[in-house]
Amino acid sequence: MLNDLAKVLLTKEQIDTRVAELGAQISRDYAGKDLVAICILKGALHFMADLTRQITIPLSIDFMAISSYGAGTKTSGVVRILQDLDSSIADRHVLIVEDIVDSGLTLKYLVDNLSSRRPASLKIVTLLDKPARRAVAIAPHYNGFDIPDEFVVGYGLDYDEKYRNLPFIGVLKPEIYQK
């Protein structure tokens, strides 16, 4: 599996440090508020678990599964909700927990969908932001790292459902996904 990587982009230590900083900032910003963190499956699962352990205020969690990629490396532009929320978010402060913001198409769809459910507020936290690929005007409120336009895997991010279990973020060799 490690032979499939061109390089390590972010180490486990870098990720752990930044996630702790994000958790502290979110804890300050949402103190005294009814916060629900929504994990976007499957990619954000690792980030969500580590982030929520760093948040020191009461919160609830929920999950959504969204599909726009399939087995490819580029978004199809067609977004499907595979799993919706279990609870209402009306009048609650919602934090979307995302693994990566790339084109922004999926996230824009998700923000529009969740906004129609009347939350008190709606913000986005992402581990990775790839602004060079942005196709729509959307930006995370909390961002772990800006990254270059490279295909990354690890820490929840996958290619064809593989590599999610790597404890760091690596750049996949093009010959792996350009078969």
Q: Which residues are catalytic?
A: 102
The answer to whether 153 and 124 are in contact (CB under 8 A) is no
Q: Which of 107-136 are b and which e, b meaning 16 or more Cβ less than 10 Å from the residue's Cβ?
A: bbbbbeebeeeebeebbbbbbbbbeebbee
Q: At 103, which amino acid appears?
A: S
Residue 103 structure tokens: 């084109």
Burial class (CB in 10 A: 0-12, 13-18, 19+), 178: exposed
Helix (H) or strand (E) holding 37: strand 35-41
